[in-house]
Structure formats: structure tokens, C-alpha cells
Structure 1
Amino acid sequence: MPTPTAASSAATAAEAAQVRAFWQGLGLPGLIDVHTHFMPENVLAKVWDYFDRAGPLVGREWPITYRADAAARLAVLRGFGVRAFSSLLYPHKAGMAEWLNTWAGEFAAETPDCLHTATFYPEPGAERYVAAAVDAGARIFKAHLQVGDYDPTDPLLDGVWGLLADRGIPVVTHCGSGPAAGRFTGPGPIGAVLDRHPRLPLIVAHLGMPEYTGFLDLAERHPAVHLDTTMAFTDFAEQAAPFPAALRPRLSALQDRILLGTDYPNIPYRYHHALDVLARLDLGDAWLRAVCHDNAARLFALPGSGS
């Protein structure tokens, strides 16, 4: 992994001051970012290579802004004042999920500010290893319908969704069709899961980009559904999937169920930009406090959440 240069270190320090000023100005104790990526180094290297080649699921130039080793990436997040984050990881084929969960459990044990993360794939034994991860302390799961290319209504997953719904464990799910549509993306397939498991605390990644309206509909129908802000409203995303201004009042109405997410470190811009664009929505400081900290603190019963 590359090491930061003096110039990049200075830029990161300056940015850290900006990020800290943002949340301090809101009277928050820090940020909670539910959509960040930490995974085995060999897996992350393959992910970065895919972005570097602008693979079919990316479809455009996508430079990785925070390309560094895990220790450096953790230091940057902590320097920003991110008090809790995730290690979202996901399989693209059968036989990967269980060993990814083993790695994530070890990472969480070594990284107390990381929410213990796990994942799954539609395969025999999925309910067993998901139950094992939950028993080991997993607090958040990741499901990637685009990369995994699987139907969330697959019978092999019914027990998984049911277990997570019963235990109230959130699942960050890439179910929107951005940046490229998959066979099972869009509100329909995951909506069928929610119809069967209405208590499932689903977190729709990227606000469901680009099917914003359909995923806002799902959140309004299902009180357990949340949405994360990952990449939404950024200049990069607005070029391909602009968020309709007419939908902003619905964001305001869902103030208690929108969560900060960034996709750090796999973003083609600076972290501070993801916060700036939320402020630009002009939905008020109370909305920003809820989105950037309080909603996730309550959802994960973190210290200071009042839960």
C-alpha cells in the first residue's frame, strides 16, 4: 500500500480541521459514518484495481482519494472525529462470506470504534454462519445486490433476513441501480423482502441512487427502513444521477431515518465535500445533527445516544 507524502499529510491535516469544524459547529461530539470500507488487504487491492480500470459496474473514471494502508486510513477517520464507523465488506461469489466474517470479527476486536460488521451470500449454510456472526457480536451487515448479482428473495436467504429482522440488526444494502443497474437492483426485489420481513432494519445505501423516489416510497411504507447518504448530492454523483429538488421535503420528513454514509476510502473527492453537500440542502441544523450523528447513535445504541 502507498504511504502518504508530506504534501498529502498536510492536506489531510487541513481537511481534518475543516471536518471537525463542521461537526463542532453543530454541537456534536463527532460523526458516525455507517458506510465505510475496511476489508482484507488482498481483497481491497482487487476492489481498487477494479475502480482503477473503470470496470463495467463503475463505468467512469474513479480515482481513490484515500489510498493508503489500513493504519493510515484509520488515522484519517479518527482525525476527522469519526467516533464510529463500519467495515463494510461483501462477497461476489459463494464460499467467501464466512471467511470475510472471520476477518471482520478480528478487525472489530482490534478496532473498538468500528462497528462489528458481517456479510452473507445466497448459499447453503448462510443462515448458520450469519447466526454465528451475530452470536459473535456482529452489529451491522452488508448486502451488495449489484456486485453479488443475486436475487434478495432467493429462498436460501429467507432465514437470513428473518434472523436479522428478529434480532433487529441493520443491513446496509446496495439495492439501487447506480452506478450501473444489476439484474436484481431497484426497489422491487428488496421491496419484496421487506413485504415478507417488515421489521427488517434495512439501510438503503446511496439513498437508493438513482431510484430515489422508489426508495423514499419504501422508507415511508416501512418504519424500520433507513437510508444512507453515501455519495448522494456530491458533484460527482449529480453528474449522472441528480437528486430531484422536489424530493427535499421528503428528506426532511424522514429526518430520523437518514444516516451519514460516505464510502470512505473509495471516493473520488475529499471527505469534507460529502458533508458540505448535506449542508447545501438547507434542511437545517437539527436535520444535520440527526443525520450526521444522532440517528446512528440511537440505532446502534452507542454511548451518548440516550438509548
Structure 2
Amino acid sequence: MPASDTTPGPQSDAEIPAYLDALGVPGLADIHVHFLPDRMLDKVWAYFDDAERNYGKAWPIHYRVSTEERLTIARRLGMRAIPALTYPHKAGMAEWLNDWNRDFAVANADVVHCGTLYAEPEASDYVPVALAAGARLFKVHVQVGGFAPDDPVLDPAWAAFAAARVPVVIHAGSQPLPGQHTGPDAIAKVLARFPDLGFVIAHMGMPEYDAFADLAEQYENVHLDTTMFATGYFDEPAIPAAYLARLGRLQHKIVLGSDFPNIPYAYARQLAGLAELDLGDDWMRSVLWSNGARLLGLSAATP
């Protein structure tokens, strides 16, 4: 049943700090944030500029400003640590992206040291190197990469993540675009082999919501991130009551995600949409802070 103690969500980015104060949380633990090398980001933004052809609807980048300005905005929004998720679209990219991630985190004390991989034999070497260098969050994009997550070539990497207890944000759902390897089946096969793996299913697994929720219920370290969920951008007009009830039961497994800065609306829209689910302030505190803080190793004292 919907809760009766839900504080209305912020209607603008300027209202976010007051909203977090009202909830009594020290900030936002957003696990799905992108920073990329400039030339790569230019190509990503060019792709979104052509979204009418790619997705059938416009996708104007809301935070199309410099790296320094985006970092400043992220801090102003309340992010206590800022992920810099990267992802390759072909072989031979992941290792240099990991090097860039390392350097970017060194240059910015509040940036989370992130990493990525591609389905290639070299992943068994560069993933342990990145972990040893301090990477504590990884990103994998099945549709963009065009590879099967259950490809055996990735088994050493999955084993390394499971052993290190490092979470992996993985976009495996079939929205906004399906791919040859998207969907829950391959993810289920990976988890059957590596049940301790800490997958964070991006976008709540949309549109295969229930199948990915099944995995979150079955495996202790599987979580769902909220990226673009309940914003009205892709969702159906109404979220089924049965799924809403599942979200209440999965309170400890749902983590704030946003896709900042590559979103076609203001950041506050994500928070307002989640509040409108009316699952209660305690649920919102878990989603906006506690769950992500646990995965990222943050504390209330995190600068």
C-alpha cells in the first residue's frame, strides 16, 4: 500500500538541498553518473542530438556544459561522491578508458575511481590491474558493446569483481534500444556461475522490470538502479500496483541512478518521480542515500 509520509519531491534543482535536509540525509549517493574523455563525450552527445532517428523522440542534453561546470553542478545537487562511468563500444578501448578513469579520479578528490571492460581476452588482465589501482565501481553496457555478458571470455573478470566485492553497473535491459544480447537471460546465467557478483541493474532493467527484480530477490548482491525510472520519459503512464508493491519490499536493493549529465530533463525530475511513487520517506532515504552509500563505501562524513 502507498505510504502516507512521503515528502513531496523537488520541482527544480534549486530545491534539492532543502529536500534532502527535509529527509534528513547527508546528500545523494547516485551510482549512475557519466564523465568521459572530451572527444568521446562529443560523440555521445552527437548521438543524442540525432535521437529523433535513433529513439523516435528528442533527447536534448540538459547539462551540456564543460567538465568543470558539470562537476560543480553535481556537487551543488548534493552528490557526496561522483561516479565517472565509462564504457567502450569496441575492443581495445577499455584499458585506456580505465587509465583515463584513474587519472580523472586522482585529479578530483570526490570523483569515484571507476572502470569498465569489453568482452575480450585482455579483460582478464586489465580488470585486476584496475582493481589493484583502486577502482571501486565498474560500468558495462551490453547494447552499446554488442557482446554477450555470459561470454566465457569474461568469466575471469566476473570472478575478480565477485572476490573484490566491487559493484558493476550493467545496462542489460532492452530499453531505450534492444540489442542482440540485452535482456535478463544472459545476466541470470552469469549470476548462476558467480552468485556473489554485485550487479547493479541499470534503469531498473526496463522494460524487463519483473525479470530483473526476480534476480534482485534471488541474489544477495544484485541491486536495481533508478536511472530514468518514474520520470515519464520511457515509462508507461502508470506503474502496475503489483510492481510498486515489489519496490516496497525491495527497499534495500534499489539505488539512486540518474544518467547525469546525459539526460533530457533537469535532475530534480528523477527525484520528484521517485517521491511520487508514494512509498514513504524511509524508502526514499534508502534509495537516495543509504543503499548507494553502502555500495560506494560512503559515510555521512564523506567530504
TM-score range, shorter chain: over 0.9
Cα distance, 1:209 vs. partner? 0.5
Q: Cα RMSD over matched residues?
A: 1.7
Q: Which of the residues 133, 157, 160 maps onto 1:160?
A: 157
Equivalent residue number for residue 278 of structure 1: 274
TM-score, normalising length from structure 1?
Answer: 0.92
Give ranges in structure 2 of 5+ residues lacking alignment.
Answer: 1-10
Is residue 180 of structure 2 the alignment partner of residue 183 of structure 1?
yes
Partners of 2:130 and 2:263 in 1: how far apart? Answer: 28
Equivalent residue number for residue 81 of structure 1: 78
Partners of 2:296 and 2:74 in 1: how far apart? Answer: 19
Q: Note if contact 1:118-1:138 (Cα within 8 Å) is conserved in structure 2.
A: yes
Query: Deviations for 1:107-138, whole angstroms, at most 9, x for unmatched residues?
Result: 11112222110000011211110000000000
Query: Deviations for 1:142-179, whole angstroms, at most 9, x for unmatched residues?
Result: 00001001001111101100110111110000000000
- Secondary structure at the aligned position of 2:80 is classed as strand
Is residue 299 of structure 2 the alignment partner of residue 303 of structure 1?
yes
AA partner of residue 280 (structure 1): E
Is residue 31 of structure 2 the alignment partner of residue 26 of structure 1?
no
Partners of 1:56 and 1:81 in 2: how far apart? Answer: 34
Q: Which moved more, 1:293-302 or 1:61-70?
A: 293-302
Shift in alpha-carbon separation, 1:130–1:180, aligned structure 2, 3 A? same
TM-score, normalising length from structure 2?
Answer: 0.93
Shift in alpha-carbon separation, 1:236–1:199, aligned structure 2, 3 A? same
Q: What is the correspondence of 1:39-54 to structure 2 with a 5 Å cutoff?
A: 39-54=36-51
Shift in alpha-carbon separation, 1:139–1:55, aligned structure 2, 3 A? farther
Equivalent residue number for residue 253 of structure 1: 249
Q: What is the correspondence of 1:1-307 to structure 2 with a 5 Å cutoff?
A: 15-54=12-51, 58-238=55-235, 243-304=239-300
Partners of 1:296 and 1:199 in 2: how far apart? Answer: 18
Equivalent residue number for residue 11 of structure 1: none
Cα distance, 1:56 vs. partner? 6.5
Q: Note if contact 2:32-2:256 (Cα within 8 Å) is conserved in structure 1.
A: yes
AA partner of residue 301 (structure 1): G
Query: Deviations for 1:2-44, whole angstroms, at most 9, x for unmatched residues?
Result: xxxxxxxxxxxx9443111121110011111100100100000
Give ranges in structure 1 of 5+ residues lacking alignment.
Answer: 1-13
- Secondary structure at the aligned position of 2:73 is classed as helix
Partners of 1:52 and 1:146 in 2: how far apart? Answer: 19
Partners of 1:113 and 1:253 in 2: how far apart? Answer: 32
Cα distance, 1:80 vs. partner? 1.1
AA partner of residue 214 (structure 1): A
AA partner of residue 224 (structure 2): L
AA partner of residue 85 (structure 1): I
Q: Tell me how many residue pairs correspond in the alignment.
A: 292
Q: Note if contact 1:232-1:243 (Cα within 8 Å) is conserved in structure 2.
A: no
Q: Note if contact 2:13-2:267 (Cα within 8 Å) is conserved in structure 1.
A: no
AA partner of residue 83 (structure 2): S
- Secondary structure at the aligned position of 2:62 is classed as coil
Q: Which runs of 4+ in 1 moved over 4 A?
A: none
Q: Note if contact 2:13-2:266 (Cα within 8 Å) is conserved in structure 1.
A: no
